[in-house]
Structure 1
Amino acid sequence: MGKNGHSPGHADVRDLAYTPTVGAPAGVEVMELADLYQRSRSHGNDPYTPLRPAFHQVIGARTRPLRVWVDFIEHELRPGSWLWIRPGQVQRFGADLVEADGVIVLFQPGFLPPATVSAAHMDPPYEQRPFTPDGPQAEGLRRALEHLAYEYGQMASLPLEFHTEVLRALLSVLLVRLATVREAAPGPIAASDTFRRFHAAVERDHALTRRVEDYAAALGYSPRTLTRAAFTVTGRTAKQYVDDRVLLEAKRLLWHSGLPAKDVAGRLGFADASDFTKFFRLRTGETPGAFRGDRSHVGEPGAALHDR
């Protein structure tokens, strides 16, 4: 252990609130990827360390690839590809960020109207992989992004409230086009209201209970209904879905904090550390300690790319 009880080589995750640029519309920002490093440093953040933003990030790569790790998966954004990072996901950019060629759009939850949220399929489940459109789809996305970036740069041309509404509309166009492109390829099935409610409950209570029966009782469904809803959308049973969420949080805590495994177990509602170790080993094939010692989980040399 190093100072303050943290494991050497591991960094705590820093939560990032949205900080708008002075004079810009509150809720959305469009910037060049190459400027992101200096923007991050000016706010006291290091994009090369694990960060957990509370806002959406839509990234479009132009002529050069970019590497970014999102919740232990390494992605390579190839020229022409896109990636949408959701609020609450833990991310870390690669060293090629300062030479990146592309655009990143940041926006807050709640900035877009309900119609866009529905049309753009912003509810879970989330497609996690980069995707590369071609033909008319790529051209439509390029034009939508260019128009959004242009209007964002014209802050003085309209009163602020009108400018905000223009950006809201253009961001809606971009996200609906993204959703259309993603629907053309194999991807997640649109979530039902039952699944959305189940997802929200699991996000809130996964450290309190892993029993599907508890979620069913709280939501007013039968366990079978929750399993059907989860399986239709994710291909996982309700129990597997809950366990997957607990496992993700366990990995985040093990890797990004200095907490001993027994404290991680306590945070996630396990009666004792041995139960947690059994849970973790059954689903990963390794102990919590072995996972914590494996550098490949955060993109050290030899880590596999996830760029399909």
Structure 2
Amino acid sequence: MAEITDVGYRPGLNAPIGMDVIDFTELRSRAERRGIALAGPQRPDFHHLIHVDPDAEPLAHTVDFTEHVVPPGGWLWVRPGQVHQYGALTRSHGTIVIWRPGFITVDPPPPETPVLPGGSARDAIDLALRHLLADYADLGSMSLEAHNRSLRMLLAVLLLRLAHAGAAPPPSGPADSPFERFQHAVERDFTRTHRVADYAAELGYSARTLTRATLSATGRSAKSYLDARIVLEAKRLLVHTDRASADIARHLGFTTPGDFSKFFRKHDGRTPLTFRAQARGVG
């Protein structure tokens, strides 16, 4: 079983600061130069916005154990930290917009499934993409600062159009909102503490405030959000590494392997090793 490859942001030499646009052919070339197997599990630290051309073959893509098929004309957003794998990339063609977290100030929440816009939504999204690509290619007409500012605005328009087409909820709020701060703290510390009260104390909120904010942004409680993040990381390690269950338990901050097994079974219905066997097709 291939282990997860952590992929850092490395744009092309002429790319603006913080954002790049490539097609599927260039993606394959970059992966080959960096020794990255696109069919294997990767965990990038940047956003991928994948668009399959309208006249192309569908693209199979797996994101955190969910298999998607992006249809011709469709879009899929992969967020930083998600583990994803490409299917038969040579059978399709399209465009990928990549950008680092923070390149735009507020990201609308990405749809969790591929988006296939229709009607006027498709026309508006196609226009937004053309504007972004044209501005991206027009590097010399403005200062670098102005060029980056223009690209941030155009990318934000494209993402807002996609969020609307995917019936996504409205943007979750500014980067310093209680949920955004809780989200970042969970990403940093979920292997250290599993108690919402600890995050509340660190961030200067009450546990009730964090729960209200998380319910508003995600539809689940703060504890449920935190537990889901721990379960996701456990599944990634169980499927993509051969680490023993006891080692994974220690890594995730559980006092004993038994506590980890009980926690995992509560949320998944299976023991960690049963999940591993079934996910790998040997159970």
Both proteins in one fold, TM over 0.5: yes
Q: Which of residues 57, 65, 77 in structure 1 aligns to 2:70?
A: 77
Instruction: Tell me the residue number matched to 2:23.
Output: 32
The one-letter code sitting in structure 1 at the alignment partner of 2:74 is S
CA shift, 1:155, in A, is 4.2
Q: What's the secondary structure of 1:249's corresponding residue?
A: helix
CA shift, 1:156, in A, is 5.2
Of stretches 127-136 and 239-248 in structure 1, the one that deviates more from structure 2 is 127-136
Aligned equivalents of 1:194 and 1:206: distance in 2?
17
Q: Which of residues 131, 151, 159 in structure 1 aligns to 2:115?
A: 131
The number of residue pairs the alignment matches comes to: 277
- The structure showing larger relative contact order (alpha-carbon pairs under 8 Å, at least 6 residues apart) is 1
Mark the runs of 5 or more structure 1 residues left unpaired by the alignment: 1-9, 301-308
Q: Which of residues 250, 253, 259 in structure 2 aligns to 1:266?
A: 250
Aligned equivalents of 1:144 and 1:190: distance in 2?
19
| Contact 1:189-1:232 at 8 Å conserved across structures | no
CA shift, 1:109, in A, is 1.8
Aligned equivalents of 2:42 and 2:34: distance in 1?
13
Q: Does 1:211 align with 2:192?
A: no
TM-score norm. by structure 2 comes to: 0.89
The one-letter code sitting in structure 2 at the alignment partner of 1:28 is M
CA shift, 1:163, in A, is 4.1
Aligned equivalents of 1:211 and 1:169: distance in 2?
38
Instruction: Tell me the residue number matched to 1:199.
Output: 183
Q: Which of residues 233, 237, 253 in structure 1 aligns to 2:221?
A: 237
Mark the runs of 5 or more structure 2 residues left unpaired by the alignment: none
Say what the alpha-carbon RMSD is for the aligned residues: 2.2
Pairs within 5 Å for 1:40-119 = 40-62=31-53, 63=55, 64-95=57-88, 97-112=89-104, 114=105, 117=106
- Gap change, CA 1:292 and 1:135, over 3 Å in 2: same
Instruction: Tell me the residue number matched to 1:121.
Output: 108
Q: Does 1:19 align with 2:1?
A: no
TM-score norm. by structure 1 comes to: 0.82
Residue by residue, what CA displacement relative to the aligned partner does 1:57-115 show, whole Å, maximum 9, x if unpaired?
Answer: 111122321111111111111122211111111110012x1121221111122222x3x
| Contact 1:230-1:237 at 8 Å conserved across structures | yes
CA shift, 1:179, in A, is 3.0
| Contact 2:111-2:163 at 8 Å conserved across structures | no
